């Protein structure tokens, strides 16, 4: 896959999909705005391998052949603006909403409580594991049919199906997928990669998102991730997207808050890059463009992923390319977007009212220009002045 720059849009759940889990017009508008804004590669967050185990309400899926046309429409719309796009394919495992929404049993490596709901999962049998791997294989095939440029496998943050098997603190099995050995924990990921490669061949790009280290008692340390990475690359991983922590974000920094510091996972990305010959993507509060440049220049990573900054300003890449970094609307790490999702609302942004409302709030020129006087220079007044000026009015 050739991309136009080294900036990746991180996978983020939005809940913009249709009630049956397909990309909607709102989904397309949201991603098209980011493609038009200049990002190199877009990753569509948490796209289920079936339609019964979503992570969130309205979560997208590639679980049926009937889903392919809606995904193809999304891909075509993004490609019109020069960006590449891939879905992050997942099985929500112990942490999905399948029991609540579809009356199915959630499955994990062991009987463990969901990080998201507290409800315990069932321990997946070897037969159920094989069935889920087959669904990953089928979802990868559908991604190819939809025209996606690659896929990303989610095996990070100690949750969902693959990530839970990789997490020592959640995998308590004693069989071939046993949790007390790295060989057992990685087995399901290797089998999933083998199944996908048997379906799509070696030329279709597969990225793996993985936590460099999990930052919890008993969690996987960075040295173990670095030991596993060459095996994963040999099994068919074309790029590593190195995140960190587990889903309990307030404790482990999976989502980095304003006081967590910058580039929290940069060291982990560098550790993986030292042991593999495939591209490495760094992620985790890399909001400063100069910092992103340094991470790439000093060899810690080959690409930088930004999530929340792309919510705050969809045109961030174009503003950097045109030498206007001062015009970037900056993410303030307030976590409003995360809070909305946790409350089961669709994602929005505290500093960018257009996020998720790109069509409704598309700036248009007024038919008749007016002289607009704005009294007051607070946030509301400044925004009113900005919008009025953008519509062609003379603002005082």
Q: Which residue numbers are catalytic?
A: 159
Of 321, 235, 229, 234, residue with least CA distance to 281? 229
Of 392, 345, 363, residue with least CA distance to 33? 363
C-alpha 11/C-alpha 190 separation (Å) is 22
∠ CA 237-240-242, nearest 5°, is: 150
Helix (H, G, I), strand (E, B) or coil at 360: coil
Burial class from Cβ neighbours inside 10 Å (0-12, 13-18, 19+) for residue 323 reads: exposed
Q: How many CB atoms lie within 10 A of CB 138?
A: 19
DSSP per residue over 127-190, as a string?
HHHHHHHHHHHHHHHHHHHHT-S-EEEE--TT-HHHHHHH-TTT----STT-TTSHHHHHHHHH
For the chain, how far is it from start to end, CA to CA, in angstroms?
A: 49
C-alpha 344/C-alpha 27 separation (Å) is 17
The separation between CA 114 and the C-alpha centre of its own chain, rounded to angstroms, equals: 20
Please, are residues 99 and 106 in contact by the beta-carbon 8 Å criterion? yes
Q: Enter the DSSP assignment of 259.
A: G
Please, are residues 229 and 276 in contact by the beta-carbon 8 Å criterion? yes
C-alpha 331/C-alpha 306 separation (Å) is 10
Q: Which pair of tokens denotes residue 38?
A: 């200049």
Of 43, 34, 44, 45, residue with least CA distance to 81? 34
């Amino acid at each position: 896959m050739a991309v136009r720059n080294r900036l990746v849009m991180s996978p983020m759940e939005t809940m913009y999909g249709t009630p049956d889990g397909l990309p909607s017009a709102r989904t397309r508008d949201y991603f098209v705005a980011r493609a038009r804004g200049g990002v190199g590669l877009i990753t569509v967050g948490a796209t289920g391998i079936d339609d019964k185990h979503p992570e969130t309400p309205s979560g997208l899926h590639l679980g049926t052949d009937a889903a392919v046309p809606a995904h193809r429409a999304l891909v075509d719309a993004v490609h019109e603006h020069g960006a590449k796009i891939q879905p992050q394919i997942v099985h929500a495992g112990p942490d999905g909403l399948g029991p609540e929404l579809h009356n199915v049993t959630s499955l994990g490596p062991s009987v463990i409580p969901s990080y998201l709901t507290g409800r315990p999962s069932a321990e997946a049998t070897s037969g159920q594991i094989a069935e889920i791997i087959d669904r990953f294989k089928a979802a990868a095939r559908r991604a190819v049919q939809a025209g996606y440029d690659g896929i990303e496998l989610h095996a990070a943050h100690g949750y969902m199906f693959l990530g839970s098997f990789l997490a020592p603190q959640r995998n308590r099995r004693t069989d071939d997928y046993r949790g007390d050995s790295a060989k057992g924990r990685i087995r399901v990921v290797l089998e999933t990669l083998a199944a996908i490669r048997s379906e799509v061949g070696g030329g279709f790009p597969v990225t793996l998102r993985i936590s460099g280290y999990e930052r919890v008692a008993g969690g996987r340390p960075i040295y173990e991730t670095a030991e596993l990475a060459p095996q994963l690359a040999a099994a068919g991983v074309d790029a590593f997207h190195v995140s960190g922590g587990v889903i309990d974000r307030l404790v482990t920094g999976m989502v980095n808050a304003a006081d967590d510091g910058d580039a929290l996972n940069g060291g982990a990305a560098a550790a993986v890059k030292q042991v593999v010959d495939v591209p490495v993507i760094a992620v985790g509060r890399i909001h400063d463009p100069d910092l992103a440049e340094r991470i790439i220049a000093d060899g810690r990573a080959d690409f930088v992923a930004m999530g929340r900054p792309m919510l705050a300003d969809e045109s961030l890449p174009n503003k950097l390319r045109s030498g206007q970094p001062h015009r970037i609307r900056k993410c303030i790490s307030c976590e409003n977007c995360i809070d909305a999702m946790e409350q089961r609302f669709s994602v929005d942004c505290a500093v960018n009212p257009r996020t998720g409302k790109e069509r409704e709030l598309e700036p248009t020129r007024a038919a008749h220009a007016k002289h607009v006087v704005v009294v007051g220079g607070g946030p509301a007044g400044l925004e009113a002045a900005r919008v009025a000026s953008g519509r062609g009015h003379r603002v005082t």
